[in-house]
Amino acid sequence: MTESLQETAQISCDILIIGAGPAGMMAAITACENGADVIVLHDKPSPGGQIYRNVDNSPLPDANILGEDYTQGGELVARFNACSARVFSSASVWHVGDNGEALFSYQGTTQRVSALEIIVANGAMERPFPIEGWHLPNVMSAGAAQVMLKSDGIVSDDAVFIGTGPLLYLIVAQYLRLGVKVKALIDTTEKANYLKATQQLPKAFAQLGMMTKGLGLLNEIRASGTPCYRFVKDIQISAAEHAKPEQASQVTFQCANETVTLQADQFFLHQGVIPNLNITRSLGLAHHWNAQQLCWQPTLDNWGASSVPYISVAGDCSAIVGAIGAQNMGKIVALNLLYRLDRLKLEKRDELATRAMQDMQQLNRFRAFIDSLYRPRDIHRMPEKSSVVVCRCEEQNLAQLEQAFGEQASGPNELKLMTRCGMGPCQGRMCGTTVSELLAKWRNTGVANVGYYHLRSPMRLLNLEELAKLETVAPRSAQ
């Protein structure tokens, strides 16, 4: 059901869901099945989230090449489309308040919605990859490559893919299945990780099928004859000398004690995903550092309830749980809210959630395996070379941050005020985690003691005129 504005001048509902990925869709389906009045705000034209993006209207002639996981999403999207939630598509939320209110851009105006309960399900983002040259034109994230493929059917020939993790291998495999030539895969996974991850094996055995998926993709890529460099380190992307405009054209790295240089016009980087914190942080929810996943995450109870009443979090923005985990969590969170809203008895909530809770526990064991196998190298999270750019928006490199640290800017916010690192249009998404980890290293303390940027609304750039159109409703008594 897609909403038109006239009918909804003063919008309110029982449960407001932000994001229509697997977590948000499943939460909406569950809540609607039990009679709750649900609104879903989603910034894309169609539901699906990162994994099932455009699954119901793919631009590709044969979407099967994207893999079984992808096409399976069609069923979930169909159930979501059939549920009774009021769905606002292309509705981008830029503020969520701890008073249960959200503001969002919709058709050139700012709209306000208030809800008894809010589920934040805005998903993950790719982990920053601060290496030499990552900020240059022609360098993009592998996720961006996948977005272009799923949304517009656009691909890049002869690109170099660099990094680690199943999503990296997935996109390379998707390219190859489409017959797109890939120049090389430069795999940064450490050899030692294979050993460490194997120690997680007994626990992960239950999910053997899923476990081998990433490795299966890697085999598929190697079998295609695409050059694969493994256990790579010391990567440096650079522009040809005197090239105007300055853009990346080669990569140099160490592989098996040899220095290799490759030329290309397109580089895709990826080293895993981390929760997208911009909503949960600007809401002021309590967060903690997850040492296994090397990321911040909101502190939640078993039902996804946060430190702020009325705010729950589900899916990859709560911790990386994957698409199936996100669906389970969406269900669990929705069941709890139905209980809080008096639409389900406690016993019924627990009964309906049992299966999803068990599945989550199994998935978590599998996560531990994935997290240790694809753990990004320290040097790829905490650069050591002074010329590496940390904040891309404000072009702050490591040397500049080190200097400010020396001038007593010892926390992320002081550092931001001193250097402008994190003040740019990405709101610190591309440098926040790096800065937390760097400061912890310099101060020789845990990341938890260092903290993160204070974030504020708007969570993304907001057009001034759009803000100006936030309509004022004066109380009748004041007129």
> Contact between 11 and ligand FAD (CB under 6 A)?
no
Nearest Cα neighbor of 256 from 196, 162, 186, 195 is 186
Q: Which does 376 bind (CB under 5 to 8 A by kind): other proteins, ligand FAD, none?
A: none
| SS3 state at 4 | coil
> Contact between 21 and ligand FAD (CB under 6 A)?
yes
- Given the complex with other proteins, which of 33 and 414 has the nearer CB atom? 414
> Contact between 27 and ligand FAD (CB under 6 A)?
no
Residue type, 373: L
**What is the radius of gyration, based on Cα positions, of the chain?**
23
* Alpha-carbon distance values, 449 to 54, 205, 291, 370 (Å): 41, 35, 13, 27
Give me 336's structure tokens: 């709890």
- Given the complex with ligand FAD, which of 312 and 400 has the nearer CB atom? 312
> Contact between 323 and ligand FAD (CB under 6 A)?
yes
Q: Which sign does the torsion angle of CA 80, 82, 85, 86 carry?
A: positive
> Contact between 360 and ligand FAD (CB under 6 A)?
no
Question: Would you say 42 and 91 are in contact if contact means Cβ atoms under 8 Å apart?
Answer: yes
Which residues pair with residue 102 across a beta bridge?
Answer: 96, 113
To the nearest whole angstrom, how small is the minimum distance from the Cβ of residue 105 to ligand FAD? Answer: 9
Binding ligand FAD (rule: CB under 6 A), the pick from 13, 51, 269, 393 is 51
Q: Which does 216 bind (CB under 5 to 8 A by kind): other proteins, ligand FAD, none?
A: none
To the nearest whole angstrom, how small is the minimum distance from the Cβ of residue 21 to ligand FAD? Answer: 2
Q: Which does 23 bind (CB under 5 to 8 A by kind): ligand FAD, other proteins, none?
A: ligand FAD
To the nearest whole angstrom, how small is the minimum distance from the Cβ of residue 169 to ligand FAD? Answer: 11
Which residues pair with residue 289 across a beta bridge?
Answer: 296
Neighbouring C-beta atoms of residue 426, cutoff 10 Å: 19
Contact pattern from residue 379 through residue 418 relative to ligand FAD, giving x for each residue in contact according to CB under 6 A and a dash for the rest: ----------------------------------------
* Alpha-carbon distance values, 349 to 109, 226, 313, 338, 463 (Å): 39, 50, 18, 8, 42
Nearest Cα neighbor of 19 from 271, 354, 313, 247 is 313
Q: How far apart are CA 26 and CA 24, in angstroms?
A: 6
- Given the complex with ligand FAD, which of 314 and 401 has the nearer CB atom? 314
Binding ligand FAD (rule: CB under 6 A), the pick from 14, 117, 126, 190 is 126
To the nearest whole angstrom, how small is the minimum distance from the Cβ of residue 98 to other proteins? Answer: 8
To the nearest whole angstrom, how small is the minimum distance from the Cβ of residue 68 to ligand FAD? Answer: 11
Nearest Cα neighbor of 37 from 62, 8, 63, 66 is 8
Q: Which does 24 bind (CB under 5 to 8 A by kind): ligand FAD, other proteins, none?
A: ligand FAD
Question: Would you say 288 and 182 are in contact if contact means Cβ atoms under 8 Å apart?
Answer: no
> Contact between 326 and ligand FAD (CB under 6 A)?
yes
Question: Would you say 411 and 444 are in contact if contact means Cβ atoms under 8 Å apart?
Answer: no
Q: Which does 232 bind (CB under 5 to 8 A by kind): other proteins, ligand FAD, none?
A: none
Kindly state the DSSP code that residue 375 receives in the 8-state scheme.
P
To the nearest whole angstrom, how small is the minimum distance from the Cβ of residue 125 to ligand FAD? Answer: 5
Q: Which residues bind other proteins (CB under 8 A)?
A: 95, 97, 103, 110, 284, 407-409, 411, 413-414, 417-418, 423-425, 427, 456-458, 461-465, 467-470, 472
- Given the complex with other proteins, which of 261 and 463 has the nearer CB atom? 463
Binding ligand FAD (rule: CB under 6 A), the pick from 117, 132, 190, 316 is 316
**Residue appearing with tokens 């650079």:** 238
- Given the complex with ligand FAD, which of 146 and 249 has the nearer CB atom? 146
Neighbouring C-beta atoms of residue 157, cutoff 10 Å: 12
- Given the complex with ligand FAD, which of 19 and 128 has the nearer CB atom? 19
In 38-190, alpha helices (H): 68-82, 142-152, 166-177
Q: How far apart are CA 356 and CA 406, in angstroms?
A: 49
Q: Which does 382 bind (CB under 5 to 8 A by kind): ligand FAD, other proteins, none?
A: none
Q: Which does 1 bind (CB under 5 to 8 A by kind): other proteins, ligand FAD, none?
A: none
Nearest Cα neighbor of 319 from 390, 371, 373 is 371
- Given the complex with ligand FAD, which of 146 and 193 has the nearer CB atom? 146
Q: Which does 149 bind (CB under 5 to 8 A by kind): other proteins, ligand FAD, none?
A: none
Q: How far apart are CA 233 and CA 213, in angstroms?
A: 24
Q: Which residues bind ligand FAD (CB under 6 A)?
A: 18-24, 41-44, 49-51, 69, 92-93, 121-126, 143, 146, 167, 170, 273, 315-316, 322-323, 326, 459
